[in-house]
Structure 1
Amino acid sequence: MRQPSRRPPLRLQTRPPGDEERPDAGEEAGAGAEVDARLPGVVRLQCVQDVPRFDMPLLLGSFRSSTCNAVAVSYGGQSYLLAPAAAVIYGGQVRVSLPGRDKPFPAKVAHLGLECELAALQVAHLGLECELAALQVESPEFWEALVPYELALDGLPHLQQPCSVVSYAEAQPRPRSLLGTVVRTEIVTYPSAMQRLLGMTVGVGLSRDQLGSAVVDAQGLCLGIVFGRTLGGKASGARKQGGRTGAGAGGDGSGERWGMGRRRVGRRRGRRGGVEASAAVVPVPVVTHFLEDISKHGRYLGFPTLGITWRRTESHALRAYAGMRPGQTGILIASINPTAPLAAVAQPLDVLAAVGGAAVDNDGTVEFRGGREKINIAYHISQFQVGDSVELTLLRQGEPRTVRLELGVPGRLLPVHLGGRPPSYLVLSGLVLTGLSGPFLEGAFGRAWPVRSPVQLLREWQNNPSAADEQVVVVAECQDLGPTSATDGYERRAVMHQRVVRCNGAPVRSLAHLAALVGEAQARADALGSGSGSGSGGGRQGGKGRKAAPAPAADAATTTIPASAAGGASDGADGNGDGNVNGSGAAGAAEAAGANGQPSIGNGPPLDERQLLLELSNRMLLVLPLQQAGEDTKAMLAEYEVEHPVSADLRPAYEAALQGGQAGAGAAGALAAGGKGAKGSRGGAKGRTG
């Protein structure tokens, strides 16, 4: 009996014309030319990341292994190796592999740009150890084996333009090319730094190992570098997984960054309700800005912003309130970051009408692609470099005025990232203090930190710093080290994740400022402790000598304090960010000194200089005896096997405060001890003669 004919499986069927994959990159090259014998500018990169514990800096971090691609590009006569920033940040070991070579090339991160999801690498000589000095030398052997891509500087690709994605996939010995289509070109939010820059979406299915691939056009010019992806699937499957259709929807453990929030970059619906696979790409204008910043300044400075929050002026009532005349366009400035250069020449309720000669419409857009399209004003501002001088046109009650300012990067009270630096910390008794940041909130409360974080910490997201060095200091850990410890009697959950508002009555500006205040207080306490011991000893020897002052108890203060003593703390400890702290800073400093010159809080009793008083954002006071706190700190460091009570970046300020406090308090302590000792000796003589 004749078997019925069956169609071959899909993987053996012939692809329709124009839909087949391109052959391996490099096979199309001719054998005669020397340049064609080299590989395209895409390499495989392997990195072992040592990610620290941001919520508890004393603990060891976790190791993560990632594999992605890196792209070699040529710009300004120099060659650069670019990789996704999220794949190499905190990279302890970075290796770059080439086909046909057994040993990989060691590399290091030379420039990290989390705002644009890019990192520039340096490659060392083959065979050298992965040392810092060796990684500073570029490897000629590595660059001789590659053909760096030329950037497509003639403009952005148009929609539905075909392109190719050249990358290494898993278990592929050579790079391959996949066909794709440009789906979207718009302003997107880059997840690592929540920076709004120009982005591009390409309709192509990629795996996790193919991040960092090169997107090229028909002429072989680089259109961008892939930094994210979106998995394809049916809409029903997405609903079963809670609506997650991004990289974290599957079971591969490659979830999206927390900064993406609810918006998934590159998500696109198919014809039948499914989600088509796509890739998020850093376009050429952003790549060239990153490279131009490195070439011009020698390091990456970032993308400038005006540091304002603005509102559209499409409402006739709002336009009349702002004093705009007919025919005038612009956006209304709602608030200005005090650290931004614009704060010196503008004020809220001013209207921004033009930036660098480009008119701003009422919806906050400027001309794009030669006036054929409109794009958000953030794109136009990001085209400038940090330090460039730009001309702005402002409207104040309808009167135009032109100002010129130097663009910069304003500070944030709650930084989204630490720029690849380890977290700073300060250990004081059983307390571990650190700076508030986005990685801290994610480590302490998980990826759902916008919902789970305390309200007093989330408020700092919208607040602006009053100074460039201002920082929110929070309690990362509170441990009770025993019944005699300085933190005994304080409830852990009442202290954890609270902001430190004041230290001994002085407003805390940053973690470095707090470390300096603690160092000065410890130096004064050590000097007073040695001086008072000698004086009291002389007094105790005589029967009629002066009695020594009683030592302060470890539980001298409780959480329930009188209204007079809590008055100074309630001004800036209500959790309202920098507004209350900065507003009551002068008053707090004035109230910190009592009538007798000793520090005090409000109308309360004067503070003992052998104690340290910390005011938290929940109106709680922590009174820590410094002598016992020093012993607790040593025990805390021995438990976590840490050498120093402060991080490396805070040690200069801390040690300088210790030395300065010892010098100043030593002289005062010597005078006081001499006077007390003389009185005590006279008292002892009287007792002996009697």
Structure 2
Amino acid sequence: MSLDRQRRRPPARPQPKLKAPHQPLQTAVPQTQQAAPHPQVSELSYDIVLDSVLKVYCTHCEPNYELPWAMTPQRHSTSSAFIIPGRRILTNAHSVEHHTAVRVKKRYSDIKYDAHVIAIGNECDIALLQVDDDEFWQEFEEYHKLGQLLHPGPLPELQDPVRVIGYPSPGNQLGITAGVCSRVEMLHYAHGQGELLAVQIDAAINPGNSGGPVINENLQVIGIAFQSVDPSHADSVGYFIPYSVVDHFLDDISRHKRYTGFPFCGFRWQKMENHYLRRAYGMESSSSGILVTWVAETVDATRVLKKGDVITHMDGVSISNAGTIPFRNGERIDLDYLVTSKFSGDILSVTFQRNGKRHEESYKLSQMGAHSLVQVHDAQHMERRQPEYVVCGGLVFQSLSEPFLRAVYGDSWLYEAPVALIELYYNGAKTRAGRSEVVLLTQILSTACTTGYESDREYFVRIVERLNSKPVNNLHHLAELLDALPSDVRDLRFELDRDTVVIVDRRAALEEERDILRTYCISAPRSLADQKVHTEGNGKCESTD
């Protein structure tokens, strides 16, 4: 079954086992020979290819989801990037995630230049950088006039030779590994939340290679190196993002002046390979298709499709009972390829059967992940670094997200987190009634209000369902409900999952707020995007002794 979000295993990045070295390309004239006065175009181009590959130095400062009013200690990383026409630099999104400073260095220089992150595409794991210093671009402007900068190439065929260029660790120098194209298919991106086209290769991709170009024999860039498989599970399996996905990312920015993301079809489905299943839904032996099992409430697809529909065609392309469509010569690929080739807001036409009748309709595609209750990434990560939170009477409330699960339960969060939260992570969807987030009671600070609650793990990381009998739709809604309570309300009654209740005195919660903020070094009782921060406390840390 194809979902917009598949089961995510924590990405591991150990060095894969090295294969026998491939024959390297000749990158320079041997010292025993005199260089030709007019080098051939291929020799000049290859040297420029190497010059176009940069080393990225990034300082990261990640949000602290366990203490959302603080940040984690900064860390540093190195990765790879490359220059494309238009004074643009491409790398991976995960290479500059939560960046505070980004610098790039050329292979023949020790000068590091400040770079700005122009756009981040988390779904496709691509980031666009820019350097303002004109000195950095001088020689590349000359290359551009000669048409010698890296240019995109076609999707490789199976067994086509490829080379990965970058700055893998350990080591400081530019490195090159070689291999062949092993497979082309839809793949779950480790940094994203859905499946996009990816190319499997057997060239080594090590830490530090992320963001570097993958080139073909014609010295064309055919993709961006981005992830590999733990060698304990498979030998010499690496992946790169094909340039068709890169083009989608760049076209999206050009069209909309910002990155809007990849689309989601709006429904979940199952295969119809079983004869009796097809018979039960009135399908003829000559027809094929997929069975709709769920339609998101908050997307345009719900206007057209219903659970139990059998979709036979998308944009006129026939869908097999296994959910695949034709792809290149003699190959087939998951139908998500057709959907993700479009843009959010584009129109998708569908042909389907319902109660034995054929229908042809169309609807507008929504953004991947826009319907989900649990976000994989902070939607405002480019403008905002602090997680949203609300503190009330020593109770700390946050929204459920993958970064929160990872912070609290570690890299094995898929297996350590409560089943109810994992179920919401996979299948939780926004509703027309207004629920758009899962609000959690994440911790209870020790105060007079919370005596009896604060030491009991039963109350930690629990789903908040209602406040004084009113459903809680999201964290902003919780803050609004707290503000809108009549002045004569005495108790704040938080109804949690599993029929658990936490009650605190409203007046005591307000009176203790300043002391709570001072004691726990919390700058403000609330931090909410697009909302003026409520500041009651003075933000100073003072001893309670």
Q: Does the TM-score normalized on the shorter chain lie above 0.5?
A: yes
SS at match of 2:302: helix
5 Å-filtered alignment, 1:632-671, equals 632-649=512-529, 651-652=531-532
1:474: how far off? 0.2
Aligned equivalent of 2:151: 150
1:611: how far off? 2.8
The partner residue of 1:396 within 339, 354, 357 is 354
Distance, in Å, in 2 between the alignment partners of 1:408 and 1:312 is 23
The structure-2 alpha-carbon separation of the partners of 1:207 and 1:73, relative to structure 1 and needing over 3 Å to count, comes to same
1:412: how far off? 0.3
Distance, in Å, in 2 between the alignment partners of 1:208 and 1:186 is 23
The letter of the residue matching 2:351 is: T
5 Å-filtered alignment, 1:200-211, equals 200-211=199-210
Matched, 1:406 2:353: no
The letter of the residue matching 1:61 is: T
Distance, in Å, in 2 between the alignment partners of 1:58 and 1:412 is 25
Distance, in Å, in 2 between the alignment partners of 1:430 and 1:221 is 58
SS at match of 2:276: helix
**Could you tell which deviates more after superposition, 458-467 or 384-393?**
458-467
The partner residue of 1:60 within 68, 71, 75 is 71
Question: Percent identical across equivalent pairs?
Answer: 28
Aligned equivalent of 1:440: 404
Distance, in Å, in 1 between the alignment partners of 2:288 and 2:302 is 21
The structure-2 alpha-carbon separation of the partners of 1:471 and 1:92, relative to structure 1 and needing over 3 Å to count, comes to same
Distance, in Å, in 1 between the alignment partners of 2:524 and 2:92 is 34
The partner residue of 2:300 within 341, 344, 350 is 341
The structure-2 alpha-carbon separation of the partners of 1:79 and 1:148, relative to structure 1 and needing over 3 Å to count, comes to farther
SS at match of 1:209: coil
The structure-2 alpha-carbon separation of the partners of 1:202 and 1:508, relative to structure 1 and needing over 3 Å to count, comes to same
The partner residue of 1:619 within 487, 499, 505 is 499
The answer (yes or no) to whether the contact 1:99–1:173 under 8 Å persists in 2 is: no
The structure-2 alpha-carbon separation of the partners of 1:31 and 1:418, relative to structure 1 and needing over 3 Å to count, comes to farther
5 Å-filtered alignment, 1:368-379, equals 368-370=327-329, 372-379=330-337
1:56: how far off? 2.9
Distance, in Å, in 1 between the alignment partners of 2:358 and 2:311 is 10
The letter of the residue matching 2:122 is: L
The structure-2 alpha-carbon separation of the partners of 1:25 and 1:632, relative to structure 1 and needing over 3 Å to count, comes to farther
1:452: how far off? 1.8
Aligned equivalent of 1:46: 57
1:433: how far off? 0.5
Aligned equivalent of 1:225: 224
Aligned equivalent of 1:582: none
The partner residue of 2:438 within 469, 472, 483 is 472
The letter of the residue matching 2:388 is: S
Distance, in Å, in 2 between the alignment partners of 1:337 and 1:433 is 27
**RMSD, matched Cα:** 2.7
1:473: how far off? 0.2
The answer (yes or no) to whether the contact 1:181–1:202 under 8 Å persists in 2 is: yes
The structure-2 alpha-carbon separation of the partners of 1:630 and 1:396, relative to structure 1 and needing over 3 Å to count, comes to same
SS at match of 2:502: strand
SS at match of 2:396: strand
Unaligned runs of 5+ in 2: 1-19, 536-545
The structure-2 alpha-carbon separation of the partners of 1:509 and 1:173, relative to structure 1 and needing over 3 Å to count, comes to closer
Unaligned runs of 5+ in 1: 1-15, 128-138, 233-237, 239-244, 246-266, 268-274, 526-607, 656-690
The answer (yes or no) to whether the contact 1:324–1:397 under 8 Å persists in 2 is: no
The structure-2 alpha-carbon separation of the partners of 1:56 and 1:321, relative to structure 1 and needing over 3 Å to count, comes to farther
The structure-2 alpha-carbon separation of the partners of 1:480 and 1:21, relative to structure 1 and needing over 3 Å to count, comes to same
The answer (yes or no) to whether the contact 1:424–1:650 under 8 Å persists in 2 is: no
The partner residue of 1:381 within 339, 359, 362 is 339
Aligned equivalent of 1:72: 83
Give CA deviations for 1:522-573 in whole Å, capped at 9, x if unaligned.
xx43xxxxxxxxxxxxxxxxxxxxxxxxxxxxxxxxxxxxxxxxxxxxxxxx
The partner residue of 1:20 within 15, 23, 26 is 23
TM-score for both structures, normalised by structure 2 = 0.84
Distance, in Å, in 1 between the alignment partners of 2:352 and 2:528 is 45
Structure of greater relative contact order (alpha carbons < 8 Å, 6+ residues apart) = 2
5 Å-filtered alignment, 1:592-631, equals 609-631=489-511
The partner residue of 2:103 within 66, 76, 95 is 95
The letter of the residue matching 1:52 is: P
The answer (yes or no) to whether the contact 1:515–1:654 under 8 Å persists in 2 is: no
1:111: how far off? 1.0
Aligned equivalent of 1:213: 212
Give CA deviations for 1:408-450 in whole Å, capped at 9, x if unaligned.
1242011122243532111112111100011111111112222
TM-score for both structures, normalised by structure 1 = 0.67
1:206: how far off? 3.5
Distance, in Å, in 2 between the alignment partners of 1:110 and 1:181 is 33
Give CA deviations for 1:114-164 in whole Å, capped at 9, x if unaligned.
11111111223279xxxxxxxxxxx64485387541111xx4211111112
Distance, in Å, in 2 between the alignment partners of 1:188 and 1:366 is 16
Give CA deviations for 1:437-467 in whole Å, capped at 9, x if unaligned.
1111111111222222123222212132114
5 Å-filtered alignment, 1:58-137, equals 58-74=69-85, 78-125=86-133
5 Å-filtered alignment, 1:254-653, equals 267=234, 275=235, 277-370=236-329, 372-409=330-367, 410-419=370-379, 420=381, 421-422=384-385, 423-460=387-424, 461-467=426-432, 470-481=436-447, 485-491=448-454, 492-521=456-485, 524-525=486-487, 609-649=489-529, 651-652=531-532
Aligned equivalent of 1:195: 194
Distance, in Å, in 2 between the alignment partners of 1:476 and 1:142 is 53
The answer (yes or no) to whether the contact 1:73–1:79 under 8 Å persists in 2 is: yes
The letter of the residue matching 1:487 is: T
Q: Which one has a larger percent strand, Structure 1 or Structure 2?
A: 2
The letter of the residue matching 1:223 is: I
1:24: how far off? 4.0
Q: Which one has a larger percent helix, Structure 1 or Structure 2?
A: 1
SS at match of 2:74: strand
Aligned equivalent of 2:10: none
Distance, in Å, in 1 between the alignment partners of 2:27 and 2:395 is 58
The structure-2 alpha-carbon separation of the partners of 1:231 and 1:615, relative to structure 1 and needing over 3 Å to count, comes to closer
Aligned equivalent of 1:580: none
The letter of the residue matching 2:24 is: E
